[in-house]
Homo-oligomer: A and B are copies of this chain.
Amino acid sequence: MNRQSHTTRTSRALPIALLRARETVMAPIRDMLQGIQLTEQKWRILRVLDEMGEVEQSAIANEACLLLPSLTRILRTMESDGQISRRQGSTDKRRTMVKITDEGRQILEENLATSLAIHNTIEAQMGQEKIDNLLDLLEELQAVKV
């Protein structure tokens, strides 16, 4: 009995395929981030905050794919590093409202060129059409109810 008789090849299993593809894309981004003392997670948080404005932590957790316990710790250091600011919610005092600071926004701007260059390298090899197609499929997969 063949080894693959009872499971799908890992290269055709969605979770592993998504992970491997992501590793390819992240490798050069991680190189960029190492130069500016920022982790992948902090970069994601800055981008989400830049996009969403002032939001509560649960919203960041959802958008940036982080669990609240991780977020609590990460935001603590980002606040003391001056990249984000926090305040208690005015109507609902359970909530902590977070926004990006000018310093945080500056980090994004300083690394925009590198970030775009990485994206362009990938696009040059796969073609814009396929990238768009892939992004559409990923958005659709993300919306599936499981």
Contacts and interface: CB of A to CB of B under 8 A. Distances in A.
A51 B134 contact: no
Chain copies in complex: 2
Interface residues of A, number: 61
A47 to B, nearest CB: 5
Given A6-B112, A121-B146, 18 more contacts: A4-B51, A6-B109, A10-B47, A10-B63, A14-B122, A15-B29, A16-B47, A16-B65, A17-B138, A17-B139, A20-B65, A20-B138, A25-B146, A122-B146, A126-B141, A130-B137, A134-B134, A134-B138
Interface of A: 3-4, 6-29, 40, 44, 47-48, 50-51, 53, 63-65, 108-109, 112, 115, 118-119, 121-122, 125-126, 130-131, 133-135, 137-146
